[in-house]
Structure 1
C-alpha cells in the first residue's frame, strides 16, 4: 500500500432519533444526499405510531390506517432512485368510509364527484350549491396550505409575514366547523365535512379552516390502504435506508442530545453509549425533544413555560380485536365506518376543553380484513374501534387503570349496534389508552398527535424543522411543521431535505455498498 496516498475523507454522518415515518423519511432523504445515516429507535420494529403487533394470528395496525396523497411517497422513493410501487402494494379504497348517525341515516364518501353530489342531495338537496362552493374552498386552501406552506420551511418570521395576506383572504381565523356551517344547513353534512381535523388531533370547532383542504386531498388523490398496513410502508422505508448504507437500530433509546459550543454533536443513549455526528434529527415528539432530550441545555424559544402553554391534541382509546369465522358476516360494515354518538360539538368540548371523559362517544371502526387477508387467519376478521378521549394533561385526567375496563364495556355496547354478537367470537384483543401512548411513544400527556393544529400553533408558530436551540439540530414528525398525519410527517422530511446542507464528504455509491454488506 502506498503510504503517501491521501487518506480517504470520513463521510459526513447524520443521526436520526426515532424510526417513525417522519424519521425514516428523513433518513432516506439524508442518505440520498450522501450522509452516512444511523437511526435510533426504542421500539422493536420500525414505524413508530405506524407500527404493528401480532396477537393470535391477527395483525393489529396500531396507528394510521389510510394513505392520502400517495405521490409524496412516490416522490420520496424517486429521490432515492427507487420505485415506491415496486416496494409497496397500495390499494385504492372505494368507498373511502361510511358515516352513520343515531337516526339511522348514512353518508358514503367516495372520490367520484357525481357520487358525492348524489349523497349530498339524498340527505339535503338544498345543500348542493353549498357543496359546490365547499369544493372550491377546499381546493384553494389545498393549493396554498399544502402545496405552498406545507412543502417549505416556515422557521423565519418573515416567512409568516409574507403569507398573512393570504391567510386573511382565505379567512384562516375561522374554524373548520364554522366554515362548514356557512356552506351547509343540514347538521349531518356540517359534521361530514368538518370532522377531518380529528384525523390529525384537532378540534374542528377551533382548528383553522385551512384544514378543509383535506376534502380536496380525498377528492383529488383518493384514499388508499397499503397491503400489510402502514407498518409495511415503514419496513420498506427501513430497507431503503439499509440499502443506502445506513442503519436502523431498534431497541436503542436516545436519552439526550449532546450540545457543544451551541452545536448538536451527537446523542447519548440510555445505556450510556455516545454516538457523534455532523447532523442530528429528532423524530421524537417535539415536546419530548425539548423537554427531555435537551433538558441539560438552556432553551431560548421552547422553554418549559412555553411548552406548558401549548394546547395538545386529544388522546385516543383504541380497542383492537380479532373475531373467529366472521369474514362473511356484517356485510354492510366496510373497511372504515364512523359511528356518531348523540353529540358532536358538546362531545368535542368535553374532550378538548373540559378534559371530561363522557358517557357517550363516537367511534371510528377499522376493518382491514375486507381489503387485506394478511391481517387475520382465513375466515376471520381483524378490527379496531377508536374513540377520541381527553389527553392526560387536564386538571383531572382520567385514571385509565381504573377506567379502561368500564370504558371497554361502553365501547362494546356501541359496537353491538353494528356488529351484533361480536363479543362471543373474539379470539384476540389488545387495548391502548392515552397512558399507553405516553409510555410507548413518549408522547406528552399521552396525546395522540402531539401539538394541536390551531392557527397559533401552526406554520411559524409550530416547532420549526430547524431548531433555534442549537445549530445542526433538526426536527421532523407530527409535532413540527407542517403537522400531523401521514402527508404532514412525510412533508416534514421533504422540508428537512431543503434545510440540511449537502455533506462535506458524501458517501459514494461504492462505500454505501460496503456499508450495507457490513
Structure 2
C-alpha cells in the first residue's frame, strides 16, 4: 500500500523504540520543524522552543493593515521533501496545504529594458531562450544535460547523506570533475551560452543561498536549475506562513509541542554531554538530546562555553566566512499591478561588481540585483480587495562590514522605492498604504544570526560538505544541529534535507 494514502487511524503512534526519550529543538524554522516531525514520528517526546511569539524563524509570517507578508522563503521546490513529513504521520500534505505552480518562476528585467521569462517547465524555458537569444538554444540544451548529469551523479546523493569526511566524497568526485563542477557557475554557464543577459539569468541562483556564481566550484549550484525542472516550483495558498502553521499542526498531531516566547540562553552540559537547556527566564529543561535550529555560528559562540569547543572554537567562528545579508522592504499598495509577475528580478549594470561588493573585495554596488515578490499574483487573499502585497529584497554586506542600518534604513528604502517606480511599479510612493523594513541588524537582533548574515556560513568550497557544520556536533555529545549553517547548506530544499540527515544520524540513540 502506498504510504501516502495510509489511513491515519491504522498508524500506531508513539513508536517506543526510543523508550519515550525527550528531545528539545531550539528554533521553529523549517529545519527545526522538519526535524521535530521526523523525531516525533519515530517516538521521541519533542518540544520545540521558539524565542518569538510565533513559528517560522526566517520563514515567519506577519500581518499588517490587512496584508499578510511572508518574511522569508517565497517559493517551494522539491515539494516531495515536505510530503514525506506528512507521510510519516500517515497523512496527506494536500489535505492540509494547497500548492499552486508559479509560472513564470521569475520575470527578469535587464538595464536595457529587455525582459526574460524564466520557467521551471522545460518546454516553456526552451521557448523563452529561443525567443530571447536564438543562437543560444543548443548551448542551453547542452548546459541542461550537463546539469542533469551533475545532479544525478553527485549533487543529489550528497544532499541527503551525512558527509563526515573527505572519504565520503570519493565515490562522487570523478563524475563531478568530469562535469566540471570545479568551475565557477558563471564560467560553466558562459561556456555554453553567449548572450551576457542570458548568462546572468542562468547563474544568479547562488544569490538565493548567500553565495556568488564567480567562486570556484560554485558550478554545483547549476543543479538548482535541474531541481526546478524536475519537481517544479510552487507557492502555498495562504503564503509560506500557512505551510509553517501546517507543520506545527502536524507536529502536534504526533504529540509534539511548540513553546513560544521561550528563548534559550544556554545549552547545559554534564562534562561534554548535552543535558538540556536553560531559558532566559532561568527555567531549566532536561532532555536526552538537544537539536539546535538556531544559527550554527550563534549556537557555538553563544550557547556553549568555549572550553568544550575544540572544533568550533571562538577563533574558528570568528574567522569563518559568512554569507551576505539582505535588506527587506515589505509594503502594500492601494492599487494592483497586474503586469508584475509573482517574482521579478531586476538586474543591475554590474553583475560581477555586485558580488565583489558583497564579499568586501570591491565597492558596494549602487545598483544591486533586486528580488521583488508579489504573492498576490498567485493568491489575491493576501491583501485587501483591490490591493497588492509585495516585498523587495536587496543583497547587502553582513555586519562585519560595520554598517549602521538604523541611520540609513529610511534612505535606502527610498532608493529602492525610486528604482521600482521607474521600472516596474510606476507611481509607487503615492500608492503605499503600509510599509515595514528588516535590516541586517534585525537579522542579528531578532533572528540571532551571527554578524547579521542572512544565510549563515558562506557557501564556499572550503565551507561545504564535511567542512561545514555537521548534524552531529563535533564538540558536544548528544547535541545535534539542523538548518542553513549545516551540511548541505542554505535554501529550503537543503534545509529540509538537513533534517533528513539529522534523523539518520540520531537513529542510533
Task: Please say whether Structure 1 and Structure 2 have the same fold, judged by a TM-score greater than 0.5.
Answer: yes
Q: What is the aligned partner in structure 2 of residue 363 from structure 1? A: 370
Contiguous gaps of at least 5 residues in structure 2: 1-17
Given that 2:238 and 2:381 are in contact with CA atoms closer than 8 Å, whether structure 1 keeps it comes out as yes
Query: TM (normalized to structure 2)?
Result: 0.93
Measured at CA, do residues 167 and 490 of structure 1 come closer, stay the same or move farther in structure 2, by a change above 3 Å?
same
Given that 1:45 and 1:51 are in contact with CA atoms closer than 8 Å, whether structure 2 keeps it comes out as yes
Per-residue CA deviation, residues 494-513 of structure 1 (Å, 9 max, x unaligned), is 1111111366xxxxxxxxxx
Q: What is the aligned partner in structure 2 of residue 342 from structure 1? A: 349
Q: Structure 1 CA distance, aligned partners of 2:19 and 2:149?
A: 47
Q: Structure 2 CA distance, aligned partners of 1:11 and 1:32?
A: 11
Which stretch shows the higher mean deviation, 349-358 or 220-229?
349-358
Measured at CA, do residues 219 and 501 of structure 1 come closer, stay the same or move farther in structure 2, by a change above 3 Å?
closer
3-state SS of the aligned residue for 1:393? Answer: helix
Q: What is the aligned partner in structure 1 of residue 59 from structure 2? A: 50
Asked if 1:291 corresponds to 2:301, the answer is yes
Given that 2:29 and 2:56 are in contact with CA atoms closer than 8 Å, whether structure 1 keeps it comes out as yes
Q: Structure 1 CA distance, aligned partners of 2:319 and 2:172?
A: 25
Q: Structure 1 CA distance, aligned partners of 2:362 and 2:449?
A: 17
Q: What is the aligned partner in structure 2 of residue 381 from structure 1? A: 388
Asked if 1:16 corresponds to 2:25, the answer is yes
Contiguous gaps of at least 5 residues in structure 1: 1-8, 504-518
Per-residue CA deviation, residues 248-301 of structure 1 (Å, 9 max, x unaligned), is 001101111112132111111111111111111000011011111113542121
3-state SS of the aligned residue for 1:429? Answer: strand
Question: Deviation of residue 114 (structure 1)?
Answer: 2.7
Which stretch shows the higher mean deviation, 300-309 or 99-108?
300-309
Give runs of aligned pairs for residues 31-110 of structure 1, distance below 5 A: 31-110=40-119
Asked if 1:230 corresponds to 2:240, the answer is yes
Give runs of aligned pairs for residues 297-312 of structure 1, distance below 5 A: 297-312=307-322
3-state SS of the aligned residue for 1:500? Answer: helix
Asked if 1:190 corresponds to 2:196, the answer is no
Q: Structure 2 CA distance, aligned partners of 1:442 and 1:245?
A: 28
Asked if 1:475 corresponds to 2:481, the answer is yes
Asked if 1:432 corresponds to 2:438, the answer is yes
Aligned partner (choices 132, 136, 147) of residue 138 of structure 1: 147
Given that 2:484 and 2:491 are in contact with CA atoms closer than 8 Å, whether structure 1 keeps it comes out as yes
Per-residue CA deviation, residues 413-472 of structure 1 (Å, 9 max, x unaligned), is 110021111211211100011111111111111111111111211111110011111121
3-state SS of the aligned residue for 2:316? Answer: helix
Which stretch shows the higher mean deviation, 24-33 or 75-84?
75-84
Give runs of aligned pairs for residues 249-328 of structure 1, distance below 5 A: 249-324=259-334, 326-327=335-336
Given that 1:355 and 1:391 are in contact with CA atoms closer than 8 Å, whether structure 2 keeps it comes out as no
Measured at CA, do residues 263 and 122 of structure 1 come closer, stay the same or move farther in structure 2, by a change above 3 Å?
same
Q: What is the aligned partner in structure 1 of residue 174 from structure 2? A: 165
Q: Structure 1 CA distance, aligned partners of 2:412 and 2:308?
A: 42
Given that 1:155 and 1:466 are in contact with CA atoms closer than 8 Å, whether structure 2 keeps it comes out as no
Q: Please tell me the root mean square deviation across aligned C-alpha atoms, in Å.
A: 1.6
Question: Deviation of residue 29 (structure 1)?
Answer: 0.5
3-state SS of the aligned residue for 2:77? Answer: coil
Given that 1:14 and 1:278 are in contact with CA atoms closer than 8 Å, whether structure 2 keeps it comes out as yes
Q: What is the aligned partner in structure 1 of residue 183 from structure 2? A: 174
Q: What is the aligned partner in structure 2 of residue 392 from structure 1? A: 399
Aligned residues: 490
Q: Structure 1 CA distance, aligned partners of 2:167 and 2:369?
A: 41
